[in-house]
Structure formats: C-alpha cells, structure tokens
Amino acid sequence: MDRSTKEKIVAELHEKLLRAKIAILADYRGIKVKELNELRGELRKSDSEVRVVKNNLLNLALKETKFTELEEHLEGPRALILNFGDVVAPAKALTEFAKKNAALEIKGGVLEGSALNKAELVALAELPSREVLLGKLLSLFVAVPTRFVTVLNGVPQGFVRVLDGYRLKKEETI
C-alpha cells in the first residue's frame, strides 16, 4: 500500500471517529468471512460499521479524537466497530454474535470519551433500546397528569354521590 492510500485511509477513519458515538475493538481471529459479513449486516441495521484496518493506521487516526484510549487494545488483528446512532444496539449485536460464535472476543471500547471494558460493554448491551426507554419516559409523562386529573375528578364525584344518597334518602321518606 503506498503512502497516499494510507493517508486517505487515516483521514477517512479520523473523520468517522470524530462523528462516532461509540467505538469498540474486537478480536476476530477464527471467524469465517461469511460470519463476519453476517455481523456487518446486523450492525448496519443500527447505523454501525465494522472496519478491519492495520493497527498503525488506526493508531494514527485515533489522535485528537475522544477514542485515544483504544490505543491500549491495539495488539494483534482487531476489528473496529463504529456507531453513529443508538449506542446500545451495536453492543447488543456484538454480545449476541459472541454468544453464538466464541471466536469473536470483545476487547474494549470507548463511549463518549469514557473507556469501557468487556464487562461494561455486556452491561450496556443488557440495557433496553433507545425506543423502549423513550416509551417508558413518555408513559411517565402521561401518567402524572392522568393521576392528577383523577384526583381532581374525585372531589366532584364524591359530591355527586352524596347528593344521590341524599336524593335516595328523601325518596324513601316520602
């Protein structure tokens, strides 16, 4: 590979790293091409991509980004997973794939400048998706006013019941 090609790869990777929300490194030795393509397809659904790039080029691209802590994991062949959307989705896809295929080993990652180890990435994968969390938040926003209206409605309902009871008592005495 000539120098200009390497510079283009580093520049492209650097630009993607600046836009990414999470970056994860995984050891992909022993994974067949077909399986890696399946993983790529699954990750594409969540606005993620898998890149296999030389460590020295990735090391250059990591400079002046929030993912510099990935440098400690650059040993041996690594796959770089970048995500530009929901950060939980790629972690879920990777952990599910790792359960089915023992050859994939998650080494670590960085989320918004904070380093994550394998256990933290697995914990991140167990979180509900963004849509589910937003749904729960919305239900809380709806529940509070609904309960408030129910409480306010209780006063007139009680008053109507008292009047109805008084009416029934008057009818009995007549």
Same domain? 83 vs 152: no
Same domain flag for 101 and 44: yes
Identify whether residues 87 and 139 lie together within a single domain.
no
If asked whether residues 54 and 139 sit together in one domain, one would say no
Determine the Cα–Cα distance for residues 127 and 124; give it in Å rounded to an integer.
5
Block residue for tokens 């990750």:
43
Q: Domain count of the chain?
A: 2
Sheet of strand 105-111: strand arrangement: 48-52, 79-83, 22-27, 105-111, 114-116
Based on the domain organization, do 123 and 143 belong to the same domain?
Answer: no
Q: Which residues is 51 bridged to in the sheet?
A: 80
Residues 84 and 119 in one domain: yes
CATH number, position 93:
3.30.70.1730
Per-residue pLDDT of the chain (174 residues; tens, 9 = 90+): 788 888 898 899 889 888 888 999 988 888 888 988 888 888 888 888 988 888 888 888 888 888 888 888 788 888 899 998 888 888 888 888 888 888 888 888 888 878 888 888 888 888 887 788 889 999 988 888 888 888 888 888 888 899 888 888 888 887
Separation CA 146–CA 43 (nearest Å)? 39
Q: By residue range, what is the domain housing residue 15? A: 3-127
